[in-house]
Amino acid sequence: MTTAIIEAHDLVKRFGSFTAVDHVSFAVPEGVIFGFLGPNGAGKTTTIKMLTTVLTPSDGQLVIAGHDPVKEPLLVRRAFGIVFQDPSLDDELTAAENMELHGVLYGVKRAQRLERVEGLLHFVGLWERRDDYVKCFSGGMKRRLEIARALQHRPRILFLDEPTIGLDPQTRNQIWELIRELCRDERLTVFFTTHYMEEAERVADRIAIIDHGRIVAQGDIAALRQQTGGSTLEDAFLALTGCSIREAGAEPIDCMRAMRQARGSRR
């Protein structure tokens, strides 16, 4: 048994009287691709935010790459790279400038940075487009750039929050191939969330299913199928979480995004 690089014990997050994450425990061994599944509003993103130091847990313990994200956020941040659910690039900068900014923020030395940026941009097929503004990029190109960026400081853990949403199958496969290569060659640990059950089934080594803030099942996929008697992971998922459709509230950010899109389409 390899040692765990991500450990959560009785993790809790409350927002007022609402408990978004309710006594969640799991461990992710190093070099593993870990899928974190759940319906809308189950607590996936809240969990990722706590793991990545941007949200403070209400209760419970976390150890990420040997450090406590609450007490030593800077050490934890150095150890992981993240691709968020929504883009987090600066649209007004070029691809290369976004990479440079990241490298400087993470203290990557100049010579090393130039070498890695070239390698990574080739890796994700964006080297030719390095001097183009990110605002001209398609969704898939942005996603690939974000993955390249997240890997620039050689993290031990890569967090991917819905990494392939809205991507075509070609891009999706290409991205997973890249990631699997890294897990194999560099012992990178990947923690990802997804809605696509067949995607989790194909790429994940281990999974956990969260619903209403609680882990309802975890382990490898064959064990889960056996546990629920389903033939696919989707069957298992539905057996565990039920068939009702979840509602997630619209945040101000959704309204902003909608407004921005409306404005953009008028132009």
Partner 1 sequence: MNAVFILWLRQLKRYSRSRARMIGMLGQPILFLLALGFGLGPTFARAGHGNYVQFLAPGIVTMGILFTAVFSGVEIIWDRQFGFLKETLVAPVSRPEVVLGRTLGGATVALIQGGIILLVCLAVGFRPAHPLLLPVALLFMALIAILCSAIGTAIGSVLQDMQGFQLIMNFITLPLFFFSSALFPVSDLPEAVRLAVRLDPLSYGVDGLRGVLSGGFVFGAATDFEVLGGLAVVMLAIGTHLFSKIELKVDPAHQEDR
Q: Which spans of this chain sit near partner 1 (rule: CB under 8 A)?
A: 15-16, 18, 20, 40-46, 49, 52-56, 74-75, 77-78, 80, 82, 84-93, 97, 100-102, 104-107, 247-253, 255-257, 260
Q: Please state the closest distance from residue 103 (CB atom) to partner 1, in A.
A: 9
68: phi then psi, degrees, rounded to nearest 5: -90, 120
184: phi then psi, degrees, rounded to nearest 5: -70, -50
Q: Is 209:3 a contact under the CB 8 Å cutoff?
A: no
Which two tokens mark 145? 């750039």
Rounded distance, CA 7 to CA 30, Å?
11
Rounded distance, CA 237 to CA 139, Å?
28
Q: Please state the closest distance from residue 52 (CB atom) to partner 1, in A.
A: 5
Q: Please state the closest distance from residue 16 (CB atom) to partner 1, in A.
A: 7
Q: Please state the closest distance from residue 143 (CB atom) to partner 1, in A.
A: 12
Rounded distance, CA 262 to CA 260, Å?
5
Report the residue number, 63 or 223, with the smaller CB distance to partner 1.
63
Report the residue number, 110 or 184, with the smaller CB distance to partner 1.
110
Report the residue number, 187 or 257, with the smaller CB distance to partner 1.
257
Report the residue number, 130 or 225, with the smaller CB distance to partner 1.
130
Q: Please state the closest distance from residue 252 (CB atom) to partner 1, in A.
A: 5
Which two tokens mark 162? 């819905």
Q: Is 36:210 a contact under the CB 8 Å cutoff?
A: yes
Report the residue number, 185 or 247, with the smaller CB distance to partner 1.
247
